[in-house]
Homo-oligomer: A and B are copies of this chain.
């Protein structure tokens, strides 16, 4: 199924989800309504609500709660993007100026808070509100813990594989997991299927972030994202971790990473080290394992088009650009 086919398959649930998002973001403060509209019209491929609605379809018959939780997931995701843009000082997102660039950081932080508030409002009205609020609030906690752990490791440069996996769980997989679990909850899926939904989303989200981390080494600026950013910020990600494994130069390279702020020229040498030690190929191998793990988690699911579509979005969104 292509993305178009998936949207067509989701049918009125998809349309109701989009309408609910639009409704949630209306405001009689003109500038806020306009800003929300601009963000919405540039909202990318809406992967997370696809994941959410496919999951509720795979495990039952989507309910009013399913639509609410899918909408809340997207609002939540956009809130974190608004905050990220302030945090990074990004002036562009998907080729258009960010809210931070157009209206200043103050507006972007508070518009992000507004989207968070609307996500909470949607969830509070739901029948399964309690489980869902807990899941989304855990994700908000994870995002902050991941960021702080990453910051801590950026100054010590002693990131282990375990640290790395925790960081990418926090910054990416946690929201995928909340999307899948709230969807499962919305159709009262039994515990075993809820666990499978979580396992799928957790592995898919992990793979999705590993793909981003590989592209930061192997991509080109032509894809629209600048490359080499992680290393410049002293972040040790999977390609470098793989290269370090078993290398006699491990201590030397980690010391260089720590010194990048004073010696940006070290980046080139470290990148050469990653290439020579097959760091990218190893990371791609690891990526494949996570995709397999995601697909394997769906073994527990009933057969059908929704299950197939979940397999496809996992493959498509992870492999397309690698």
Interface residues of A, Cβ cutoff 8 Å to B = 27, 29-32, 35, 80, 83-84, 86-89, 103-107, 109-114, 116-118, 120-121, 124, 129-130, 133-134, 137-138, 140-141, 143-145, 147-149, 151-152
Contact = CB atoms under 8 A, between A and B. Distances in A.
Number of copies: 2
A87 B114 contact: no
Given A124-B137, A133-B120, A149-B31, A144 B111 contact: yes
Contacts of A89: 105
Nearest to A111: B144
Contact of A148 (B31, B129, B141, B151): B31
Given A84-B106, A87-B104, 4 more contacts: A32-B145, A89-B105, A106-B151, A110-B148
A80 B106 CA distance: 11
A152 B110 contact: no
B110 A87 contact: yes
Contact of A152 (B31, B106, B120): B31
Contacts of A141: 114, 117-118, 121
Contact of A110 (B35, B133, B143): B143
Contact of A87 (B109, B121, B124): B109
Nearest to A31: B152
Contact of A29 (B83, B87, B152): B152
B111 A87 contact: no
Contact of A151 (B27, B31, B138): B31
